[in-house]
């Protein structure tokens, strides 16, 4: 099958590698607004050829949108206007509700499958693409009842080829859950980086003692604002809810420390230790 | 040299492994209040023999205190009372100011070297001990002007044998810096775990979509309250300062999201991306 990948960055590029490797794509066509991304993707042999969006839609059967969610909102309706019965369009966006609302009434809605691979790194661009990014990770497919059966089957085959775990969810649930297990992690990392960078400016030498623990909590702060601002925008209400709750938890810890109520602080940490059951 | 390790947990046990392996310790004696820790440490061959604290001080030249900082405060003065001129006592505690204030006037203060290896994992106990935990990590030695020259030399040899990077700092500076690059990371992880665990209780299935990013920011929430409550207690003022600043940063992000000021939000993320220069 010929696959077109719109946006040859970390996710698009990694998909290109894996779909070729697993025999799912006979040929990968890359589309990217940024000339330098196309050049790098060709140099790195992530893609077989470059094309415009229109050319790509003529040549490919499967078209994967791997661009920030705001750009996705711009492109998707016009693509559905032009879609042919043999086409399947899949996205890999990190939010789902607004996108699915946007195309809800479209006569060709059935050719679209809304997907979100729960995989990534803090890096971006074609040079960040890596093999096996998706292996053993979860792929969420949203509101699949609105996709045509044959289109869905192709995406399910793709999920299988990528050796991913498949989860079905509705868009609302998806956006709520990702706010809690993905979006807030990025917010706390950004805020933590800002906190420590500010102190470094006043004090200097702050990072000399940074070790694995700090790196672990702050590495997501390397993530690109081009990707993340549109996510926070799309998922604003859920992100605000979880941010409220997180600030509340921090304020509770602060209060216990102010009151020197170390017994209650101990119990709070014990409670948070229950995360051991969830993380391996 | 015979080395006694008081507290054969993650750090004590890992030191036992490395000091034997690097030829720094000819024999390691383990002391631990918890019978089961001693048993495990013997089973795992982390230590050559078990002893009481008094026996250990009679047999060993170097005595390493690898216990929570509150327990350290309890033991150290009495140990300095009994110390002999050939003894060196080193601690590996995560806070330094209160400990060094406590022993400041002690006639045998010179036999003590205050150390903090910037290494660890979220696990605890003898079974968490691993080889090479300290390799290429930073060892901070605090207020070394108050340690006897020969005692300091032995510890510097140890740092070298462990292939660690050596940093000298005063206790005040150390406690401030670790609040920013270690203690706050644990607070945010504990709070994040509590936030998401609470939602899981209401909603269920929240963790189904958790991926590497979430795991990275929340893994420190597995850390033991026995170790961490005393650290927060000792370093209360610095931790409160950094916690204040961190909550402030989160509130700023929240406000921008409420006001839908995405340009300012974008700039904030860009600013936090400067962490790229610091983390490799």
**What average pLDDT values come out for chain A (280 residues) when binned by 10 residues?**
98 98 97 97 98 97 97 97 96 98 97 97 95 96 98 98 97 96 96 94 85 93 96 97 97 98 98 89
pLDDT for B43 equals 97
Equal CATH topology for B2-169 and B174-278: no
Pairing of strands A27-31, A88-91: unpaired
pLDDT for B202 equals 83
pLDDT band at B197 (very low <50, low <70, confident <90, very high): very high
Measured between alpha carbons, how far is A127 from A109 in angstroms, rounded to an integer? 33
Assess whether pLDDT exceeds 90 at residue B261. yes
Measured between alpha carbons, how far is A189 from B272 in angstroms, rounded to an integer? 9
The closest of A199, A214, A211, A197 to B139, measured between CA atoms, is: A211
pLDDT for A279 equals 81
ipTM: 0.92
DSSP assignment, residue A164?
P
Pairing of strands A49-50, A62-65: unpaired
pLDDT for A200 equals 87
The partner residues of A189 in beta bridges, in order of sequence, read: none
CB contact under 8 A, B279 and A218: yes
Q: Where are the domains of chain A?
A: 2-169, 174-278
Å between A250 CA and nearest CA of chain B: 6
Pairing of strands A138-142, A165-169: parallel
Å between A18 CA and nearest CA of chain B: 19
- What number is the average pLDDT over the span B165-183? 96
CA-nearest residue to B210 within chain A is: A181
Question: Which residues contact residue A128 at a Cβ distance below 8 angstroms, ignoring those fewer than 6 apart?
Answer: A9, A10, A13, A121
CB contact under 8 A, A209 and B137: no
Nearest-by-Cβ selection for B213 from A120, A246, A276 = A120
pLDDT for B200 equals 87
Q: Three-state DSSP class for A212?
A: helix
Assess whether pLDDT exceeds 90 at residue B228. yes
How many CA atoms lie less than 13 Å away from A108 in the CB half-sphere? 16
Tens digit of each residue's pLDDT (9 = 90 or more) over B135-161: 999 999 999 999 999 999 999 999 999
Domain formed by A2-169, architecture: 3-Layer(aba) Sandwich (3.40)
CATH classification code of A174-278: 1.10.3660.10
Tens digit of each residue's pLDDT (9 = 90 or more) over B81-120: 999 999 999 999 999 999 999 999 999 999 999 999 999 9
Å between B228 CA and nearest CA of chain A: 9
Question: Which of B136, B195, B243, B270 would best serve as a mutation to test chain A binding (most A beta carbons within 10 A)?
Answer: B195
């Amino acid at each position: 099958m010929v696959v077109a990948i719109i946006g040859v960055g970390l996710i698009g590029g990694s998909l290109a590698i894996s779909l070729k490797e697993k025999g799912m794509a006979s040929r990968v066509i890359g589309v990217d607004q940024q000339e330098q991304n196309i050049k790098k993707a060709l140099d790195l042999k992530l893609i077989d050829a470059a094309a415009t969006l229109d050319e790509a839609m003529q040549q490919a059967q499967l078209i994967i949108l791997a661009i920030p969610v705001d750009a996705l909102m711009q492109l998707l309706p016009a693509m559905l206007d032009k879609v042919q019965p043999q086409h399947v369009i899949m996205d890999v966006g990190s939010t789902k509700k607004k996108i699915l609302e946007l195309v809800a009434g479209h006569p060709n809605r059935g050719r679209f499958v809304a997907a979100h691979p729960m995989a990534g790194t803090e890096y971006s661009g074609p040079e960040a693409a890596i093999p096996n990014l998706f292996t053993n990770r979860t792929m969420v497919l949203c509101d699949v009842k609105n996709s045509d059966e044959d289109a869905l089957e192709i995406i399910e085959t793709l999920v299988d080829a990528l050796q991913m775990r498949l989860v079905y969810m509705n868009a609302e649930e998806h956006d709520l859950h990702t706010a809690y297990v993905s979006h807030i992690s990025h917010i706390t990392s950004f805020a933590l980086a800002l906190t420590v960078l500010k102190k470094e400016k006043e004090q200097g030498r702050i990072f000399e003692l940074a070790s694995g623990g700090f790196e672990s909590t702050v590495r997501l702060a390397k993530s690109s604002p081009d990707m993340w601002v549109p996510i926070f925008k799309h998922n604003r209400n859920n992100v605000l809810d979880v941010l409220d709750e997180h600030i509340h938890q921090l304020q509770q810890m602060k209060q216990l420390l102010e009151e020197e109520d170390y017994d209650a602080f101990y119990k709070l940490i014990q409670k948070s230790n229950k995360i051991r059951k969830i993380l391996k």
